[in-house]
């Protein structure tokens, strides 16, 4: 639809995009009786990795044992996350927004950005595992179900993000 | 038609993965449309430059929330079958704080990083590697985290449930709060030099745009919800009281510990085993394969109304109450373990063996001893026999395979692998969650 121009198209009205996200979430409730998620799919990958390298260790470890038996590619959330990847790719292609790039502010370098991305991902893993979900599983899903723990989670998540923002401002602004 | 479709058995596990993929595509598409494939756009939320995270996230929340309320209120969706992540106040708050910090440092949250990686952001790909590594590290640290993460768990808890304020009233309050937050966010954007297009704004727009139309619609539905009562189905279930009485009178859905033990050993147990005792008691010991589920989490923890369930509590009393609860909620195939866990302990783990006065009794004693050993228990010797020094079944009696012919009870007997110690029961998280790990984020 936009093959004649290479400029990325503007983003949608965020409220309209949010409405779409809400309908996808509602479909998950109606079809499955559960909400959306993301972080557990990566826990499954990590668990599968540990089981592949050290199967005996994994089998007797309280945390990895859960992943040692099943096939991570049969997990519901793994399929959902593969769908997220495809959906994001399709939308990006349609709007000319796919490009190989590293995003950061003008006062930051690519190398520092990648170190922060890795570290942030690792911190996120701890946060998601401790909280029992991420922005999708606790924030969106729990928020829509009026889950008490999810609203506590969202409060401290925004507090943590705004609290740290000043200290890493050079990365983004 | 009844929703959730999956829990009412409209499709099976394999189809559920197709559904997962399709819903994922929609989720990823709308996230990218909203600009969530860009780390800079996401992070701008926390410098008050571009409040897209707040707008997309809370529009999604209130859309689904109003939808869930009304689909449940009209009787289409059974809200009590929708899985709720159990509330653990301390863990929810500490985890949320870490997640917020990781969000700004890493530039993404897990879902948005997938979209960003799909659209070529190398930093998002590195972020994903960091997250998988972090998930592995959490695993190694888990034994020392688990204790406090699971402490003070409230189980599934909702804001209406905890506060006593009607569900619909909270729905209305959340919608109003979200719209106020949107207007404030747009005001902040204007102050910091940004200004969204008028048709994408609420603040300062004095005509009925599509955006205002959407929110006035949600607001209207939410205000009616405030007056429309509970979305839960509870009180409208009809029960055949006489059928219930007959079942109770005949004990038709009681399963004896001995029968269950035989079925578990033979691998013919078709029940899903539910342990209703406290997480502490469950962690100490439980019947192999049982899940620890609290009474309140019970309906949502069950997959489909047609799956056969066997409930047990310590003495059977709570199991009997849960039996009635589930019957009233429309689950027809609920059974209870006769005598509860106490009965299991008494009859399977440490049975008092019959006196070996003849061959039949001696074989039966050996059989019971072998079954007890299989489940990690130890049979007790009757007093008289012990006094005479007659231990039923000499030497390694526990290792003798129980013989089918001699079984006086004429039931399928265990295969001869009784020597194997009982399978070490993984100390699975004492999930009040219904132990369905799959349902987390």
> Which of B194, B228, B262 is a domain's end point?
B228
Q: Do the chains contact at A126 and B138, CB–CB below 8 Å?
A: yes
Tokens of B127: 């972020």
Of B26, B43, B57, the CB nearest to A18: B57
Write down the pTM of the prediction.
0.75
Q: Is the peptide bond before A80 cis (omega within 30 degrees of 0)?
A: no
Q: Roughly how many angstroms between the first and final C-alpha of chain A, as a whole number?
A: 33
- Separation of alpha carbons A83 and A89, rounded Å: 10
Give a yes or no: residue B436 inside a domain: no
- The answer to the question of residue B213 being in a domain is yes
* Binary contact (A172, B44; C-beta < 8 A): yes
- Decide if B3 is inside a domain: no
Residues B208 and B59 in one domain: yes
In the β-sheet with B309-312, what is the strand arrangement from edge to edge?
A: B254-255, B334-337, B309-312, B272-275, B291-292
Given CB atoms, is A60 within the 8 Å cutoff of chain B? Answer: yes
Q: How far is CA B360 from CA A26, B371, B393, B407, B412, in A?
A: 62, 17, 12, 8, 17
Instruction: Give per-residue pLDDT as tens, B304-339.
Output: 666 788 999 998 899 999 988 888 777 778 899 999
Domain range for B322:
241-347
Could you give the count of Cα atoms lying within 13 Å of A12 in the half-sphere of its Cβ? Answer: 24
A contacts of B41 (beta carbons < 8 Å): 11
Helix (H, G, I), strand (E, B) or coil at A59: helix
Same domain, B285 and B137: no
Residue at B76 is within a domain: yes
Any chain B CB within 8 A of the CB of A94?
A: no
pLDDT tens figures, B140-149: 888 888 888 8
C-beta separation of A61 from A150 below 8 A = no
Nearest residue of chain A to residue B52 (CA atoms): A14
Which residues of chain B have a CB within 8 Å of the CB of A30?
A: 3-5, 71, 77
What is the torsional sign of CA A36, A38, A42, A47? negative
* Minimal C-alpha gap between B391 and chain A (Å): 36
Kindly tell me if the per-residue pLDDT of B414 is higher than 50. no
Q: Which of B347, B376, B394 is the last residue of a domain?
A: B347
CATH number at residue B285: 3.40.250.10
Instruction: Note whether B271 and B403 are same-domain residues.
Output: no
Co-location of B77 and B180 in the same domain: yes
- Shortest CA gap A1–chain B (Å): 15
* B11, B12, B15, B23, best to mutate vs chain A, most A CBs in 10 Å: B23
Q: What is the mean pLDDT of residues A125-149?
A: 94
Q: Encode pLDDT of B54-112 as tens digits.
A: 999 999 999 999 999 999 999 899 898 898 888 999 999 999 999 999 999 999 999 99
Q: CA-CA distances (angstroms) from residue B89 to A85, A150, B157, B222? A: 32, 9, 10, 27
B86 and B213 belong to one structural domain: yes
| B435 within domain boundaries | no
Q: Which residues of chain A does B34 touch, with a Cβ-Cβ cutoff of 8 Å?
A: 11-12, 14, 17-18, 21
Question: What are the tens digits of pLDDT across the range B147-177?
Answer: 888 877 787 889 998 999 999 999 999 999 9
Rounded CA separation B19/A160 (Å): 34
Token pair 């930051």: residue: A108
Domain tally, chain B: 3
Query: B84 and A145 in contact by Cβ < 8 A?
Result: yes
In a domain, B413, yes or no: no
Q: Are residues B37 and B140 in the same domain?
A: yes
Chain A residues near residue B105 by CB distance under 8 angstroms: 116, 119-120, 123, 164, 168, 171
pLDDT band of residue B48 (cuts 50, 70, 90) is confident
Question: Is the pLDDT reported for residue B116 higher than 80?
Answer: yes
| Residues B147 and B38 reside in one and the same domain | yes
- Pairwise pLDDT comparison (B51 vs B432), residue with the higher score: B51
Q: Is residue B191 domain-shared with residue B260, that is, in the same domain?
A: no
Q: Which pairs from A60-64 meet CB under 8 Å and 24+ separation?
A: A60/B424, A61/B139, A62/B142, A62/B143, A62/B146, A62/B426, A62/B427, A62/B428, A63/B138, A63/B139, A63/B140, A63/B142, A63/B143, A64/B139
**Which of the pair, B137 or B377, is modelled with greater confidence?**
B137
Same domain, yes or no: B290 and B224: no
Instruction: Give the nearest partner residue to B126 out of A11, A117, A127, using CB atoms.
Output: A117
Helix (H) or strand (E) holding B255: strand B254-255
Helix axes A76-94, A39-53, angle to 10 degrees: 120
Between residues 106 and 165 of chain A, which touch chain B (CB distance below 8 Å)? 113-114, 116-165
Question: Does the residue B427 lie in any domain?
Answer: no
Cβ <8 Å between B93 and A156: yes
Specify whether B193 is located in the same domain as B56.
yes
Q: Looking at this predicted complex, what is its ipTM?
A: 0.94
User: What's the gap between Cα B316 and its chain centre?
Assistant: 23
In the listed set B347, B380, B397, which residue is the last one of a domain according to the structure? B347
Together in a domain, B357 and B335: no
Q: B425 lies in a domain?
A: no
Contact across the interface for B107 and A140, Cβ inside 8 Å:
no
Instruction: Say whether A130 and B81 touch across the interface (CB within 8 A).
Output: no
Nearest CB among B25, B96, B174 relative to A131 is that of: B96
Of B47, B145, B197, the CB nearest to A172: B47
Whether residue B215 sits in one domain with residue B290: no
Which of A18, A86, A128 faces B441 most closely, judged by CB atoms?
A: A128
Residues of chain A with Cβ-Cβ distance to B63 below 8 Å are 18-19, 21-23, 25-26, 144
**What chain A residue is nearest to B87 in terms of C-alpha separation?**
A149
């Amino acid at each position: 639809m936009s093959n004649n121009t290479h400029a990325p198209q503007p983003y949608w009205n965020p409220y309209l995009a949010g409405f779409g996200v809400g309908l996808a979430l509602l479909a998950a409730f109606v079809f499955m009786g559960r909400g959306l998620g993301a972080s557990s799919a990566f826990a499954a990958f990590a668990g599968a990795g540990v089981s592949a390298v050290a199967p005996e260790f994994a089998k007797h470890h309280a945390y990895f044992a859960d992943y040692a038996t099943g096939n991570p590619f049969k997990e519901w959330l793994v399929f959902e996350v593969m769908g997220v990847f495809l959906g994001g790719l399709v939308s990006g292609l349609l709007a000319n927004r796919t490009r190989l790039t590293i995003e950061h502010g003008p006062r930051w370098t690519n190398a520092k950005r990648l170190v922060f991305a890795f570290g942030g991902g690792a911190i996120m893993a701890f946060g998601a595992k401790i909280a029992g979900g991420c922005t999708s599983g606790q924030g969106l899903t729990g928020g829509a179900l009026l889950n008490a723990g999810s609203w506590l989670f969202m409060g401290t998540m925004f507090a943590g993000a705004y609290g740290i923002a000043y200290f890493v401002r050079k990365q983004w602004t | 038609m009844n929703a959730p479709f999956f829990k009412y058995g409209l499709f099976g596990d394999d189809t559920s993965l197709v559904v997962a993929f399709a819903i994922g595509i929609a989720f990823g598409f709308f996230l990218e449309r909203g600009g969530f494939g860009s780390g800079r756009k996401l992070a701008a939320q926390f410098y008050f430059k571009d409040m897209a995270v707040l707008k997309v996230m809370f529009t999604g929340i209130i859309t689904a929330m109003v939808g869930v309320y009304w689909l449940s209120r009209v009787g289409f969706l059974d809200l009590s079958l929708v899985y709720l992540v159990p509330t653990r106040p301390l863990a929810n708050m500490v985890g949320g704080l870490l997640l917020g910090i990781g969000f700004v440092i890493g530039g993404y949250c897990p879902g948005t990083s997938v979209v960003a990686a799909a659209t070529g952001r190398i930093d998002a790909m590195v972020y994903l590697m960091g997250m998988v590594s972090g998930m592995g590290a959490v695993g190694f640290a888990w034994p020392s985290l688990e204790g406090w993460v699971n402490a003070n768990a409230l189980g599934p808890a909702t804001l209406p449930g905890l506060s006593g304020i009607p569900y619909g009233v909270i729905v209305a309050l959340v919608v109003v709060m979200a719209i106020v937050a949107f207007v404030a966010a747009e005001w902040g954007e204007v102050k910091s030099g940004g200004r969204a297009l008028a048709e994408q704004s609420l603040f300062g727009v004095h005509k009925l745009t599509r955006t205002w139309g959407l929110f006035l619609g949600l607001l209207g539905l939410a205000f009616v919800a405030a007056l429309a009562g509970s979305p839960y189905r509870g009180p409208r279930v009809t029960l055949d009281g006489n059928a219930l009485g007959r079942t109770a009178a005949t004990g038709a859905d009681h399963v004896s510990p001995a029968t269950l033990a035989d079925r578990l050993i033979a691998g013919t147990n078709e029940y899903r085993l539910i342990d209703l005792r406290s997480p502490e008691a469950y962690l100490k010991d439980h019947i192999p394969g049982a899940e620890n589920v609290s009474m309140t989490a019970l309906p949502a923890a069950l997959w489909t109304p047609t799956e056969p369930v066997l409930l047990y509590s310590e003495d059977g009393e709570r199991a009997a109450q849960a039996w009635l609860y589930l019957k009233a909620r429309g689950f027809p195939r609920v059974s209870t373990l006769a005598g509860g866990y106490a009965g299991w302990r008494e009859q399977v783990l440490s049975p008092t063996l019959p006196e070996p006065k003849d061959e039949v009794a001696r074989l039966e004693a050996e059989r019971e001893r072998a079954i007890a050993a299989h489940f990690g228990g130890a049979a007790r010797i009757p007093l008289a026999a012990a006094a005479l020094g007659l231990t039923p079944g000499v030497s390694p009696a526990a290792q003798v395979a129980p013989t089918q012919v001699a079984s006086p009870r004429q039931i399928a007997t265990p295969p001869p692998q009784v020597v194997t110690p009982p399978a070490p029961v993984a100390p699975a998280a004492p999930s009040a969650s219904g132990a369905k790990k799959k349902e987390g984020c």
